[in-house]
């Protein structure tokens, strides 16, 4: 099991490298998400596990009902 | 042709100069011809660590600015006849370019097997000048979060400049690794990637710099890995494991 120090160091390094929160990706993601729901928080974490795992966490307050399919 | 290796690390005080000096000694003991070049203009300390500060007549800025020949700025080590130091100085009148330093290095390249460049901290002018003169780098990193983070940024710059990267983890406290409080050298290697070259423990002899030859073993292992491509890692952790190890840990922490 990786130590807490290891997890923190890895998060820091990946954040320095990719920092999706500072890129257009994050902005566009927010736009898409807010079309479908009202949310408290939106978080993007990166983990390296051989591959790069990107975990998007959305804390949704209210999900809009989408009766008609969006094109 | 000498292998030109820059000893860098990003953060200040990770032990770049210490590793440069001790690795130089270990390489000379393997009968290689070694030149240690202080690339830190301003906060130059390699001469002090190598105990030659009272022998400095010319420095590498004098060579760059043509006030002397390269050979005149070389100081031979007392104990190891194949080991030389080229000191730096507190300031340079004009901007010293990487090209000017490269010229000096290329003149000495056939005389030595290894040229180790002691790089200043940080990733600005001095760093860029030093890495421009090298084909390989040894990144000296301490097993602390801030150290690992800065080393990673340094490595990004090195790889962007096509300098191949080797990693040395310095100041490892075996007792703290065994108790899980400090990142292990292998965790640091895993985080940074690239070639794992060596592990240097936190050591009082190294810290006090009384006798550079006192803490030989980890540096000898490091020199062998560098010269032969072997992959031996100095073990400073297992003595702190098990029942006796736990006792030693307790004792070490409380003094
Ligand atoms: N393995 C070690 N064990 C104990 N002390 C060490 C070790 N390595 C380095 N030190 C001590 O840490 C201090 C800083 O080391 P050093 O000058 O080599 O770092 P540096 O990276 O060259 O610093 P700078 O960024 O200022 O050039 C010195 O006092 C040195 O003796
Ligand atoms: Mg130094």
Q: Walk me through the domains of chain B, giving residue ranges and CATH numbers.
A: 3-254 (3.40.50.300)
Nearest CA to ligand 1 atom 8: B15
Chain B residues closer than 8 Å to A3 by CB? 180, 183, 187
Interface of A with B (CB under 8 A): 2-3, 5-6, 8-10, 12-13, 16-17
pLDDT of the residue at A67: 61
Find the B119 Cα to ligand 2 centroid distance in Å: 7
Q: Predicted confidence band at A17 (pLDDT cuts at 50, 70, 90)?
A: confident
Q: What is the mean pLDDT of chain B?
A: 93
Residues B130-141, mean pLDDT to the nearest whole number:
97
Mutate to test the pocket of ligand 1, among B8, B12, B18 (most ligand atoms within 8 A of CB): B18
* C-alpha R_g of chain A: 15
Residues B230-239, mean pLDDT to the nearest whole number:
93
Residues B129-151, mean pLDDT to the nearest whole number:
96
Residues A49-68, mean pLDDT to the nearest whole number:
84
Residues around the ion ligand 2 (C-beta < 5 A): B 16-17
Let me know: does A6 contact B187? Beta carbons within 8 Å. yes
Q: Predicted confidence band at B255 (pLDDT cuts at 50, 70, 90)?
A: low
Q: What is the mean pLDDT of chain A?
A: 85
pLDDT of the residue at A18: 85
Domain ranges, ordered by start, for chain A: 4-64
B193 in A contact zone (CB under 8 Å): no
pLDDT of the residue at A68: 63
* pTM (predicted TM-score): 0.89
Q: Predicted confidence band at B115 (pLDDT cuts at 50, 70, 90)?
A: very high
Q: Predicted confidence band at B67 (pLDDT cuts at 50, 70, 90)?
A: very high
pLDDT of the residue at A71: 58
pLDDT of the residue at A69: 63
Q: By CA distance, what is A7's nearest residue in B? A: B191
Ligand approaching nearest to the C-alpha of B38: 2
Q: Predicted confidence band at B47 (pLDDT cuts at 50, 70, 90)?
A: very high
Listed in sequence order, the DSSP H helices in chain B are: 16-29, 46-49, 60-64, 98-108, 125-132, 145-160, 174-178, 185-192, 204-208, 217-228, 242-254
The shortest CB-CB distance from B149 to any of A3, A6, A12 is to A12
Range ranked top by mean pLDDT from A3-12, A49-58, B4-13: B4-13
B154: helix, strand or coil: helix
């Amino acid at each position: 099991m990786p130590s807490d120090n290891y997890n923190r160091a890895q998060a820091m390094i990946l954040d320095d490298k990719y920092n999706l929160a500072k890129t257009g990706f994050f902005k566009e993601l927010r736009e898409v998400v807010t079309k479908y729901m009202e949310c408290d928080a939106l978080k993007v974490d990166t983990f390296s596990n051989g591959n790069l795992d990107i975990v998007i966490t959305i804390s949704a307050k209210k999900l809009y009902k989408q009766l008609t399919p969006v094109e | 042709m000498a292998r030109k290796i820059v000893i860098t690390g990003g953060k200040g005080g990770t032990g770049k100069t210490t590793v440069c000096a001790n690795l130089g000694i270990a390489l000379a003991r393997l009968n290689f011809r070694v030149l240690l070049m202080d690339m830190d203009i301003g906060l130059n300390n390699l001469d002090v660590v190598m105990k030659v500060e009272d022998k400095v007549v010319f420095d590498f800025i004098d060579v760059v600015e043509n006030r002397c020949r390269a050979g005149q700025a070389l100081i031979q080590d007392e104990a190891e006849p194949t080991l030389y130091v080229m000191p730096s100085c507190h300031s340079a009148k004009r901007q010293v370019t990487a090209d000017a330093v490269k010229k000096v290095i290329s003149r000495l390249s056939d005389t030595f097997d290894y040229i180790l460049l002691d790089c200043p901290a940080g990733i600005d002018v001095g760093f860029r000048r030093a890495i421009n003169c090298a084909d390989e780098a040894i990144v000296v990193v301490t097993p602390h979060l801030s150290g690992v983070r800065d080393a990673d940024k340094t490595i990004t710059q090195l790889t962007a400049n096509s300098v191949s990267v080797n990693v040395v983890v310095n100041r490892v406290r075996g007792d703290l690794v065994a108790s899980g409080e400090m990142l292990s050298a292998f965790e640091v290697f895993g985080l940074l990637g690239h070639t794992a070259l060596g592990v240097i423990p936190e050591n009082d002899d190294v810290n006090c710099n009384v006798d550079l030859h006192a803490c030989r073993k980890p540096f000898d292992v490091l020199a062998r890995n560098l010269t032969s491509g072997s992959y031996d890692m100095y073990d400073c952790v297992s003595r702190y494991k098990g029942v006796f190890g736990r006792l030693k840990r307790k004792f070490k922490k409380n003094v």
